[in-house]
Amino acid sequence: MATNEPSIFDLDPGEESEFELVKKPNKRKRKESPLEKNTPTYASKIQPIVVSGIKAELIKNPVKLAKLLNKEKPNATIKETKLARNNNLLIFPNDGHSANILLKPWKQNSKLGNPKPRVPQQKENQLYCIVMCGLSLDIPETQIVNELEDLGFKPKFAKRLISKITQAPTWKMKIAFEEQNDQEELIKEGIILGYQKHRVEKYVELPTILQCYRCQGFGHTFHKCENEQKCLRCGDNHSIKNCKKEKAEKKCANCGGDHISSYKGCPVYFSARQEVKQQPKQKTYAQATKIEVSNKLPRNEKINITLFCSELIQTCFMKCNIKIKTSDVLAYSANLALAHLGLVISGEELFYVLKNPQFPEHAEAIEKIRRNSDEGPS
């Protein structure tokens, strides 16, 4: 049945009507808060002041240090202080006026010592990186960059992470920003893309684990190696250049498994990674970028056996040419850790076990480790 009601298609281009065309809504963009508008960017942020020459005993006593700092610079507002490398003090001023006061010459031969302030050198082109999780392999990196830009962020680049073990792409992407505010907000709030919320983590560059290409062991380089030469492919006492075995005949020089010695899925490599994670975090930048994993335990150092039982068992069986499954290593390690939970013994006994594990069977090797552990000081 025909109707006389007007239609939008009956109107002339310039004719007014009661109909209103609805525009496609724009994507929601992140709004800048008033505080964020007035917050300086990284390039213009107030940098901390490095003060050298302060007495070491004062740095260890923050309460006494704070009182002396207030007396020395009463007009400066200090937000926070931290211990920097080489016993320097890192002072975070609350504003630019306070920073200028802290940079002026300090009194020498005072109760603080001989303080000398300076501004630390800024890193050029410093990037703040995150890891976004749960991203399908069908999503290209450029799409993530565009989506983040539409939301008001300023990503520098996005790169899909590759598994070091399988060499296959993962469902995670590393995304870099020039502004720290973008990194902090995404870590705190996460991000919603296509009605799905994705977890965001801070990207942490893992320290390098040294591996010797002479003996294939971890924790040292060729120049400091005192061990016998091992083949990367077959584990025998020759260079890989002189290896006459087929490429399919692989044997790890560290664990005896059917893979090359540089395989990232090796249990000995995994043990070395665990040792890196357990090392103290209070390290200088140079130390953090070159953490060494010890192949030999120091003789005079006290060591918690719980941390080393897995590495000990693997080393003993490897030197005895005994093949052992990873599951068995974990089982033996758990039993040994429970048997000696909290026991601290000297490195002398453990070093002896590492060097002389000439046992034909697993049980005897474990018993030798137990016996040497029991003889150590409790």
Average per-residue pLDDT in the chain? 71
- Tell whether 289 and 311 lie within a shared domain: no
Dihedral sign (CA 349, 353, 359, 362): positive
Of the three residues 171, 202, 233, the one that is the final residue of a domain is 202
CA distance 45 to 123: 13
Give the model's pLDDT for residue 158.
94
> By residue range, what is the domain housing residue 165?
128-202
Of the three residues 98, 118, 138, the one that is the final residue of a domain is 118
326 or 183, greater pLDDT: 183
Distance of CA 221 to CAs 7, 210, 311, Å? 82, 7, 20
The stretch 82-111 carries a mean pLDDT of 86
Are 78 and 93 spatial neighbours (Cβ–Cβ below 8 Å)? yes
24 or 208, greater pLDDT: 208
For residue 132, pLDDT beyond 50: yes
pTM score, two decimals? 0.36
Domain for residue 17, yes or no?
Answer: no
The stretch 109-126 carries a mean pLDDT of 78
Domain for residue 94, yes or no?
Answer: yes
- Tell whether 290 and 344 lie within a shared domain: no
The stretch 128-151 carries a mean pLDDT of 92
Of the three residues 174, 202, 230, the one that is the final residue of a domain is 202
Domain for residue 229, yes or no?
Answer: yes
Q: Map tokens 């003889």 to a residue.
A: 375
Name the DSSP class of 122. P
Burial class (CB in 10 A: 0-12, 13-18, 19+), 348: middle
CA 134 to chain CA mean position, Å: 20
Burial class (CB in 10 A: 0-12, 13-18, 19+), 191: buried
- Tell whether 214 and 291 lie within a shared domain: yes
Domain for residue 86, yes or no?
Answer: yes
> Residue 39 is which amino acid?
T
Number of domains within the chain: 4
Beta-strand ranges (E) seen in the chain are 49-54, 78-83, 89-93, 113-118, 128-133, 155-162, 169-177, 191-193, 196-198, 200-202, 302-304, 344-346
Domain for residue 85, yes or no?
Answer: yes
CA distance 74 to 45: 23
- Tell whether 216 and 290 lie within a shared domain: yes
The stretch 109-119 carries a mean pLDDT of 87
Domain for residue 5, yes or no?
Answer: no
Give the model's pLDDT for residue 270.
79
The per-residue pLDDT for range 224-261, each reduced to its tens digit, is 788 899 999 898 999 888 888 887 788 899 888 888 88
3-class DSSP state for residue 146? Answer: helix
Are 127 and 177 spatial neighbours (Cβ–Cβ below 8 Å)? yes
**pLDDT band for position 297 (50/70/90)?**
very low
Which token pair is 44? 């213009």
Where b means 16+ CB within 10 Å and e means fewer, 196-205 reads eebebeebee
For residue 169, pLDDT beyond 80: yes
Give the model's pLDDT for residue 145.
93
Are 303 and 353 spatial neighbours (Cβ–Cβ below 8 Å)? no
- Across 93-107, 121-135, 213-227, the highest mean pLDDT is recorded for 93-107
For residue 192, pLDDT beyond 70: yes
- Tell whether 291 and 214 lie within a shared domain: yes
Domain for residue 11, yes or no?
Answer: no
% of the chain with per-residue pLDDT over 90 = 14
CA distance 87 to 166: 43
Domain for residue 75, yes or no?
Answer: yes
The per-residue pLDDT for range 81-90, each reduced to its tens digit, is 888 877 888 8
